[in-house]
Amino acid sequence: MDPLKSVKNFRNKKVGIPKNILGRNKNNKRVEVKVRINLWKILIAFLIFIFFLPFLISVFEVAGGNGKVDTSQAISDIKDGKVKELMVQGPKLIITYNDGSTKVATKEDNESFTDILNVAKIDPTSVKYTVVDQSATKVIGEILGVLLPILLMAGFFLLILRSQNKGAQDIFSFGRSKAKLFAKGKQSVTFADVAGINDAKKELEEIVDFLKNPTKYRKIGARTPKGVLLFGPAGVGKTLLARAVAGEAGVPFFSMAGSEFMEMLVGVGASRVRDLFATAKASAPAIIFIDEIDAIGRQRGRGLMGGHDEREQTLNQILVEMDGFTPNDNVVVVAATNRGDLLDPALLRPGRFDRRVMLDMPDKEGREAILKIHARGKRFVKNINWEGVADRTVGFSGADLENMLNEAAILAAREDKEDIEQEDIEEAATKVKLGPAKKRLQSIEDKKITAYHEAGHAVVTHFLPKTDPVQRISIVARGMSLGHTFIPPTADRTHDTKSRLLEQIAAMLGGRAAESSVFDEMTSGASSDIEQATRIARAMVTDFGMSDLGPVNLGAQYDVDDMGKAQWYEPAQISQSMQEKVDSEVRRIIDEAYKKALAIVKKERKTLDKVSKKLLEVETLDREEFEKIVGKKNGE
């Protein structure tokens, strides 16, 4: 067996081995393998052993005897001639009987065992009698009692100093920055891996170019932007874009999360900010990335802890470092958040975050580009319609698309397929949005109600002129729902018209209309539909001005800026009579939409029955199968 392999095996098993071992390397040359002996571990083990030594001695002393015996019983046994030997050790009398057994007696008063035996009129010569002098033991115990705590404390502080020298995070390094340094080539993600957010990518590409080629910009009089704020919904690629900057930048890139500044000790956050910027300035030109900056950058004076809490001190230090008296050239701060409305105005002014880049959900072209990036390394059949998948995934973020393709790959592997098929992607898209399919035990009546409910949604949607085509109908339970009707938008719309919103409300109430028309009964399955329909109707009245009350905002008063609605708002400032009119308008919109849905269900009853019957047979209908029953949608 190769000695080197033996050494490796011993190390893996944490078995002690000699300090030096002779072996052979891959070229069959004799080498000496040196094994490090951890003296610190040996020292700690020795101190622990010394600490517990008195306890071990006492335990062994007790364990050495077969038990305890009363002094009176011991005297009686001595008189009866049962005892072979006596040994006095301080307050203990160790008794060895003729049969070889040993017991321990403890004196009950301040008298010595010699006096006790004399009082009992026992001849000491009748047994072997020995007195052990414990003065040396007492001296050793006293010395250990004094030196042991000192040794333990010294060892503890030596360990702290050793970890301090190695850069460990201990009590002396609270104020140091926890930023991770990404040098050139350390981050594998580049701008080529980012798609769907081209405008934001151009902004960051320009920052990287500025730091790489500062002379080109300084010749024309341009100064370095102090900061770039990336904000947008979760999953659109803010952190991914920052990772691409780290991969592309030929300068040091320091990454840190907003929550890492905060600590239980007061002043630690501000100290870490100072340390981070000092390190970046020493390495300038450099980039600092702060993820989730809303953890420390929230508006001051609106917290529950007053105006001088730890978070506000940290924010004040960031404001000073970004644009204070100390020059901050060639250090660019990139920050990301999905709650830009919460940030302090002083943080957003020019000179600190000069550029604010809004990242939104990708459009069709962006989704198709993102799909092609995440499809790398996965095996698909040749006839995948990526344009159709992009149409199918309106409203998906980049993270949703990546998760969808991963779920499709998992589904294909579970079914032992060699390639991912179109139906796997379809199932994965549904799973990402609605959750995995559940096989719930339902009665025949429940399945029939669910089938007519979903068919009602689909039929009403199909025969309304301005709604989008039905993509999929299913009575397979997912998440909290017993079925679903999927109607994705055919285009990425920025605005919604009044007529389209009214038809959306009617389509949402199509399930309730079908239940009422077919079973002459109402179920609780329409609760979510009613909630969504009511929310849209109320927004039409209070926010969009799409009612007979006119173009007046009657809702809550939000603090709106270019980053959206702020968290802080005031209740609607309207009278009781006006509130009654709002409620009446909402009720009117809902009633008219329900009447429209009910009329379509009654008119297309035969079609409704066919769709429901087919759903009970196959459980899921796609667009082609649905349109074979109901025909093509008007306008297509």
Length reported for the chain? 636
Q: What is the pLDDT of residue 569?
A: 55
Q: Is 457 annotated as a binding residue?
A: yes
Distance, CA of 447 to CA of 379 (rounded, Å): 37
Residue 114 pLDDT: 63
505 with 590, same domain: the answer is: yes
CATH number at residue 604: 1.20.58.760
- Is residue 9 located within the same domain as residue 85? no
Looking at per-residue pLDDT, the higher value among 213 and 26 belongs to: 213
Q: Domain with 420 in it: what CATH number?
A: 1.10.8.60
pLDDT average, residue stretch 51-55: 61
446 within domain boundaries: yes
CATH number of the CATH domain containing 111 = 3.30.720.210
pLDDT, one tens digit per residue, over 138-189 is 566 667 666 767 777 777 666 666 654 544 444 445 455 566 666 655 667 7
| 239 pLDDT more than 80 | yes
pTM greater than the 0.85 cutoff: no
Do 423 and 567 belong together in one domain? no
189 shares a domain with 141: no
Q: Which residues constitute the domain of residue 58?
A: 38-64+136-173
Is 559 a domain residue?
yes
Q: Do 441 and 560 fall into the same domain?
A: yes
Q: Do residue 451 and residue 591 come from a single domain?
A: yes
200 and 128 within one domain: no
- DSSP SS3 for 498: helix
* Residue 163 shares a structural domain with residue 224: no
497 in any annotated domain: yes
pLDDT at position 62: 47
- Scored b (16 or more CB within 10 A) or e, 334-343 reads bbbbbbbbbb
Mean pLDDT value of segment 493-512: 90
Say if 635 falls within a structural domain. Answer: no
Same domain, 169 and 199: no
Q: How far apart are CA 293 and CA 337, in angstroms?
A: 6
Indicate the number of domains in the chain.
Answer: 6
400 is in an annotated binding site: no
Where among 433, 454, 488 does a domain terminate? 433
pLDDT confidence tier of residue 64, bands split at 50, 70 and 90: very low
Domain boundary among 173, 196, 226: 173
Q: In this model, does residue 127 exceed pLDDT 80?
A: no
| Domain end (from 400, 433, 466) | 433
Q: Is the pLDDT of residue 560 over 60?
A: no
* Structure confidence at residue 585 (pLDDT): 93
- For the annotated catalytic residues, the residue numbers are 454
Over pLDDT 90: what percentage of the chain?
Answer: 12
Judge whether 297 lies within some domain. Answer: yes
Same domain for 382 and 454, yes or no, is no
Note whether residue 451 is domain-resident: yes
209 annotated ligand-binding residue: no
pLDDT of amino acid 554: 80
The full DSSP string for 171-203 is TT-TTS--PEEE-TTS----GGG--S-HHHHHH
| pLDDT at residue 571, as a whole number | 67
**Does residue 636 lie in a domain region?**
no
Please answer whether residues 469 and 490 qualify as being in contact, where contact means their C-beta atoms are separated by less than 8 angstroms.
yes
Same domain, 57 and 188: no
Least confident of 7-21, 113-127, 476-490, 587-601: 7-21
Residue 72 pLDDT exceeds 80: no
Asked if residue 321 and residue 187 are part of one domain, the reply reads yes
Residue 604 lies in a domain: yes
